[in-house]
Amino acid sequence: MAVDQEVARRRTFAIISHPDAGKTTLTEKLLLFAGAIHIAGSVKARKASRHATSDWMEIEKQRGISVASSVMQMEYRGCVINLLDTPGHQDFSEDTYRVLTAVDAALMVIDAANGVEAQTLRLLEVCRARNTPILTFVNKMDREVREPLDLIDEIERTLNMTAVPFTWPLGMGRSFHGVFDLRRDRMRVFRPGADRLDEQDEIIEGLDNPEIALRFTENVAQARQEIELIRGASPEFSHVAFLAGEQTPVFFGSAINNFGVREVLDALVDLAPSPGSRQALQRQVQPAESMFSGVVFKIQANMNPAHRDRIAFVRICSGRFERGMNLRVVRSDKDIRTNGVVSFLSQRRELLDIAYSGDIIGIPNHGTLQLGDTLTQGERLQFTGLPFFAPEIFQTVEIADPMRSKQLKLGLTQLGEEGAIQVFRPHAGGALLLGAVGTLQFEVVAHRLKHEYGVDARLASAKYQMARWVTSDDPRELKRFIDTNAHRVAYDAVDAPTFLASFGAELSVAQESWRLIQFHRLREHA
């Protein structure tokens, strides 16, 4: 198949949700449809270890499992679907933000009892900022949940986008009878059962079919009324508006009962976009260009601490990848061989050796690849848009044994490159400063410093609470700012100057006094 045909049949997406909304369950069911049952087991295994976050053995184990299941590739209706996993714990949400830059669409899962929850909202902000198209699955209709009209209203208000229901539930909880497919004018009748296949589902043709009212008396009138309301109130579905992130199609169902899931998968194939063009500093890159290009959006330490090898996850942005080809790391001008590229779980072996735009490849390396790196066949390109967020918690790091300071520096540099933590070097000298978005990040770093680098690090809370990257159009003004605020400026992993503040007022005072300095919450790799 030609590159453009391969691109056209690709769908790359991630599921975003609040913990316990049903992401793991839904992932399993989606994989079942594509016949990838062996993968489903490993999704569960991963989940099982996820909750034991204080048990370090478990974290180690999880790292191994999650390399394998962090990208799941499946084939469905002739499409190649890449599902990118996102970390469940909110302390690692920075990682999730970066994963979201590698997808072309997102599937939002909502627990119908809880509506749109905090963590979902934060992730959605990232999608909204990039105009990523979003599909919505309202889960757990087999429970006593909130009124569907209410949920639709909440989705619209919190997401600031129009919700267009594609299916509509008939009842809920004990009297959940099924969903109306509003576009195909038919009803899928609900029958509980976790391992049921949906081919066994009963379908009743026609939403007005009198059989429906005869069988499911209690809720039919209400559901019909709601549908009428919805049809009157919400606009027609517009594919253009969906692709622009202005409309979200909404599906109701119950993931654990594998009910209403197929509709979502079909929508993903029919509606979600194939890989599009990507912005590099130099130019716009088209997915079907013949030359390979890709960007590192995630780095994960591998299982074996002794080897310190890491896997760089690369989203292919153009062209075709073949195992063994030489790729140039544009930042360092170094070439890397790709014989050892990691295969992610896939039902078809041959997909592993050749990959196209939209696919993810995992390249093992010992530090040659960093977050945000662009890989090409020689062209000087730098993709933009990989976000680093200003840390909100800070700790200083010191070591018990000064003889180990070299190892400490190496460890912190490498962990910083992975995005596990942000490392700051104070302008005025002194102990290094670690910045994180969630406290669990510090625990992981201390643990890994000890086990992978043999360093007993002492972490102590620092007085800072916020950081802002500072830039200015006038380099002299920036230098003046740094000199004047020497004790509150530090440099991050790429030597970008950062202003540190202990409380909000300190930041606002600085902003007011230094009009020619820009303060940024987000740094994009460039």
Q: Give the residue, chosen from 7, 11, 14, 24, that forms a contact with ligand GDP under the rule CB under 6 A.
A: 24
Choose among 24, 21, 236, 40: nearest CA to 113.
21
Q: Which is nearer to ligand GDP, 255 or 507 (CB)?
A: 255
Least distance CB 28 / ligand GDP (angstroms): 8
Taking the C-alpha atoms of residue 191 and residue 196, their distance in angstroms, rounded to an integer, is: 9
What sections of 234-364 are H helices per DSSP? Answer: 239-243, 261-271
Q: Give the residue, chosen from 2, 20, 185, 484, that forms a contact with ligand GDP under the rule CB under 6 A.
A: 20
Q: Does 10 bind ligand GDP (CB under 6 A)?
A: no
Taking the C-alpha atoms of residue 428 and residue 282, their distance in angstroms, rounded to an integer, is: 36
Show the beta-strand stretches assigned E in 357-406.
360-365, 374-376, 387-389, 393-399
Q: Which is nearer to ligand GDP, 139 or 370 (CB)?
A: 139
Counting residues that bind ligand GDP (by CB under 6 A) gives 18
SS (HEC) of 43-108? HHHHHHHHCCCCCHHHHHHHHHHHHHHCEEEEEECCEEEEEECCCCCHHHHHHHHHHHCCCCEEEE
Q: Does 258 bind ligand GDP (CB under 6 A)?
A: no
Q: Which is nearer to ligand GDP, 138 or 371 (CB)?
A: 138
Q: Does 364 bind ligand GDP (CB under 6 A)?
A: no
Q: Which is nearer to ligand GDP, 7 or 256 (CB)?
A: 256
Q: Give the residue, chosen from 223, 230, 256, 280, that forms a contact with ligand GDP under the rule CB under 6 A.
A: 256
Q: Does 338 bind ligand GDP (CB under 6 A)?
A: no
Q: Which residue has the tokens 């639709």?
A: 152
Q: Does 19 bind ligand GDP (CB under 6 A)?
A: yes
Task: Please name the helix (run of DSSP H) or strand (run of DSSP E) that holds residue 341, with its range, or none.
Answer: none
**17 carries a ligand binding annotation:** yes
Q: Does 86 bind ligand GDP (CB under 6 A)?
A: no
**359 carries a ligand binding annotation:** no
Are residues 299 and 14 in contact, defined by beta-carbon separation less than 8 angstroms? no
Q: Does 143 bind ligand GDP (CB under 6 A)?
A: yes
Least distance CB 109 / ligand GDP (angstroms): 7
Write down the number of H helices and E strands in the chain: 15, 31
**411 carries a ligand binding annotation:** no
Taking the C-alpha atoms of residue 486 and residue 506, their distance in angstroms, rounded to an integer, is: 14
User: Residue 520, Cβ neighbours under 10 Å: how many?
Assistant: 16
Burial of 197 (0-12, 13-18, 19+ CB in 10 A): exposed
Contacts of 184 (CB under 8 A, 6+ apart): none
Distances (CA, A) of 502 to 6, 340, 449, 464, 466: 51, 46, 27, 4, 7
Q: Does 142 bind ligand GDP (CB under 6 A)?
A: yes
Q: Which is nearer to ligand GDP, 143 or 308 (CB)?
A: 143
Q: Give the residue, chosen from 6, 7, 14, 23, that forms a contact with ligand GDP under the rule CB under 6 A.
A: 23
**23 carries a ligand binding annotation:** yes
Q: Which is nearer to ligand GDP, 88 or 419 (CB)?
A: 88
Binding residues for ligand GDP restricted to 466-485, rule: CB under 6 A? none
What are the residues facing 518 on neighbouring strands?
471
Interface region with ligand GDP, contact rule CB under 6 A, candidates 15-23, 219-227, 309-317, 329-337: 15-23
Q: Does 22 bind ligand GDP (CB under 6 A)?
A: yes
27 φ, ψ to 5°? Answer: -55, -45
Does residue 89 sit in helix, strand or coil? coil
Interface region with ligand GDP, contact rule CB under 6 A, candidates 19-27, 274-282, 346-354, 362-370: 19-27
Q: Does 255 bind ligand GDP (CB under 6 A)?
A: yes
Q: Give the residue, chosen from 120, 139, 300, 498, that forms a contact with ligand GDP under the rule CB under 6 A.
A: 139
Strand 162-165 versus strand 387-389 pairing type: unpaired
CA angle 255, 100, 335 (to 5 degrees): 130
Q: Which residue has the tokens 């449809």?
A: 33
Q: Which is nearer to ligand GDP, 115 or 364 (CB)?
A: 115
Q: Does 61 bind ligand GDP (CB under 6 A)?
A: no
**387 carries a ligand binding annotation:** no
Annotated binding site: 17-24, 85-89, 139-142
Residues that bind ligand GDP in the complex, under the rule CB under 6 A: 17, 19-25, 47, 88, 139-140, 142-143, 254-257
